[in-house]
Each structure stands twice: as structure tokens, then as C-alpha cells.
Amino acid sequence: QVQLVESGGRLVQAGDSLTLSCAASGRTLSLSTMGWFRQAPGKERDFVAAITPSGGSTYYADSVKGRFTISRDNAKNTVYLQMNNLESDDTAVYYCAVLWAGNYRSAGSYTYWGQGTQVTVSS
């Protein structure tokens, strides 16, 4: 069993930066691809970013490419999402999740999820 706890979400202004953290417990995640997703009210949960177990490869949604950076610290069992130049469209609940196998862009492929952290970008 894996427990994921996201933190760092808050109300910010457009153009601001914010870093989200996802701390895992219950099992080491150094062998797992990790992903960040987000869900705005009334919308589906969308892929944001993913990172391979070693951190050697990262993947991003087109909407965040160049603004967001995913990273991980396996010694701390923690994954981060650095978000720069935030826009009002980035407002959503952000979730981290563990991928054992499958398509990293598909929420249905992920096995464990955190409870989410709210990011609100005010314009």
C-alpha cells in the first residue's frame, strides 16, 4: 500500500511561481514512474507531467511545457512540480499518482493517488 500526500497549493496571482510536493509513504517509489494530474471544476482529470524512476526522462502536457518542471528526490520519496508563470487556466486541484505500467498520459493507468492540493490563480 502507498500513501501519497500533496502539499503546496494556494492562491497566487497570474505570473507567480509555485512548487507542489508529493510525499510518499508505505513503499519506496524509486522504481515507479510518477505523474501529476489536475482537475478543474466540471472537467476531466488531465495529465500534467510525468517522470521516470531515475528522473532521467520527463514528459509534459503541451499546455504546461516550458512553464512547469517535474522532479523527484528518491532519497526523500518525494516528487515535485515547479510551476512558473502561472495562468488562470492552471487553476485546478493537482494530484500526484503512481504508475506501475501503462500509458503515463492516461489517468486510468495510475494505481495510487493522493488527495489533491488546490491551486488557484487569480488574474
Dump pLDDT digits (tens) for 39-88. Answer: 999 999 999 999 999 999 999 999 999 999 999 999 999 999 999 999 99
CA atoms of 14 and 84, how far apart (whole Å): 10
Per-residue confidence at 108, pLDDT binned at 50, 70, 90? very high
123: three-class secondary structure by DSSP = coil
The pLDDT of residue 106 is above 90? yes
Classify residue 18 by burial, with Cβ atoms within 10 Å: 0-12, 13-18, 19+.
buried
CA atoms of 26 and 3, how far apart (whole Å): 6
CA atoms of 72 and 79, how far apart (whole Å): 4
Q: Can you say whether the dihedral through the CA atoms of 29, 115, 104, 38 is positive or negative?
A: negative
